[in-house]
Structure 1
């Protein structure tokens, strides 16, 4: 089990994953969830902190607190994306973003697409320094990616258990997708909704997909990228029909990908360009 949890990976894979994660923190604040900043002006008596916010305890959001975290995260996330001071900057980004999520989710809306991403932020500072071109192996990096993968899969599996716990087996034959399409469906969803029985089949498929998602860990490595591609296609279909993106979850899911190939491809192209320049006549 320990060997599986700490299976070595190229340091360059961790380096690319780290950059993707920290760049997304910046984009999340300004593109995907800019509404969180509006809580700076929300009356304090509407703040109902999540359990972790009550246990610590964390302060009630104020304009000073929210805006300080916002601007600090913008600066620190971009700095962390460079790979410098990975522990110092990594822990700072995790702590601030964790508090940012407490502020975001303590007003009646809790998103479950943040679990894997928060785990990624928590474990990346433990890896230490990595470089894009470093192909040496790291067990610490392997552990960081593995626990992120586990969190990603738990997001699916626990979502299925929640559906069955709250809705029972009747969930798969209910009108939950129909309601989602009525609320936020696209034209594509409207076309699908009129096909008899298709939404019910889709709900069976969703439950099966989520319950079987842990099998990705036993799929042979040569097929795993195709399984991950299927996961991404599921979210493409979700966004195309009911406009739910799961963006942070999709970022965390890149922990499954051989990201070190980006560096190899870049070097190959650079080498090809250099070779072409050498043979080009003056």
Structure 2
């Protein structure tokens, strides 16, 4: 009888070796060795921004009760009705307190993931009242990633307590590299998904038609009629139709080409500057302010932020 058992020939070994090398290359790329100071610097930047953002929005967050038009989205879709006023106040204050603990690295193994989940809940609850604030999406994703990492091993109250107990200072490791890579992927991924959404909803007509011009005209007119702050520059520009196809094309390419920022520091710097200019343009012609990218925080995971003078001093500070 002919032997039908599988055999592994030279071709099989070659394919297996090739796949193994590819897997190791992907692993090295996704889990590079990185210094703990870089992750800690991002915790301070992102966590600090989140605390300031929550504090600035606190009056709004505390007032999310007794209103009409409750349409839960995201994680708050489990609610059939708005929360009672006391619960609304408690969740906002808990988010702020956990954010402070997150930023300074206090009991981070608990407060890190706890703040990430509470921030997701509180901002999703805010989005359940008729308007979805896309400006908050990347911030929440970054906090979720940082909250599940070892971002408080240095430059934190936890690290100071550990050093006083005689713990050795942490050294560069892949445990700090993979969260950094994830944060960078979340940044470029958010822009890439936005570009894909434009193509799915509008096709290439986004770049070749008056869609962008009409949207800018509608947004500014609506704000003007409602007595809100609008952009006189945007209102003037809509009279120059020839400008908008190039602007729409540039915005689409910026988003679809976002993954090139992962190819190296120089490309990351060029793409980040272009993305920052894009958000500045949106602010100038639509009066829509995206604080997270305009302050540079959305792009911080692409760079060695621990080399900033402030974080160099923190790294040298005695524990």
Give unmatched runs, 5+ long, in structure 2.
1-25, 157-168, 224-229
Check 1:203–1:181 CA distance in 2 against 1; reply closer, same or farther (3 A cut): farther
1:119 Cα deviation (Å)?
A: 2.0
Could you give the per-residue CA deviations for residues 215-236 of structure 1, whole angstroms, max 9, x where no partner exists? 2122x32342232222222212
CA distance in 2, matches of 1:105, 1:264: 35
Q: Secondary structure at the match of 2:308?
A: helix
- Cα deviation digits, residues 54-75 of structure 1 (max 9, x gap): 3x56873221121101111222
Task: Tell which structure's C-alpha radius of gyration is larger.
Answer: 2
Partner residue of 2:242 out of 197, 206, 210: 197
Looking at structure 1, the residues matched to 118 and 310 of structure 2 have their Cα atoms a distance apart, in angstroms, of 34
Contact 1:117–1:148 (8 Å) recurs in 2: no
Could you say if the C-alpha distance between residues 14 and 58 of structure 1 is closer, same or farther in structure 2, counting changes exceeding 3 Å?
A: farther
Query: Does residue 29 in structure 1 map to residue 75 in structure 2?
Result: no
1:15 alignment partner in structure 2: 40
SS in 1 for 2:98: helix
Structure 2 counterpart of 1:280 = none
The alignment status of 1:82 with 2:104, answered yes or no, reads yes
Aligned length: 265
Match of 2:135, SS? coil
Q: Secondary structure at the match of 1:149?
A: helix
Deviation at 1:177, TM superposition (A): 3.1
> After TM superposition, where is structure 1 displaced by more than 6 Å over at least 4 residues in a row?
none
Is 1:53 equivalent to 2:53 in the alignment? no
- C-alpha change, 1:32 and 1:207, in structure 2 (3 Å) is farther
Match of 2:140 among 100, 107, 118: 118
Residues 249-264 of structure 1 aligned to structure 2 (within 5 Å): 251-263=297-309
Runs of 5+ consecutive residues of structure 1 not aligned to the other structure: 271-282
Counterpart for residue 201 of structure 2: 166
Tell me: higher relative CO, structure 1 or 2? Use CA pairs within 8 A at least 6 residues apart.
1
Q: Check the 8 A contact 1:113/1:155 in 2, yes or no.
A: no
Note if 1:67 corresponds to 2:89.
yes
Pick from 268, 282, 289: which aligns with 1:224? 268
Q: Tell me how far apart the structure 1 counterparts of residues 81 and 107 of structure 2 sit (CA, whole Å).
A: 28
- Would the aligned equivalents of 1:120 and 1:148 in 2 still touch at CA under 8 Å? yes
Deviation at 1:264, TM superposition (A): 7.0
The answer on whether the counterparts of 2:34 and 2:173 sit within 8 Å (CA) in structure 1 is: yes
1:275 match: none
**Which residue number corresponds to residue 273 of structure 1?**
none
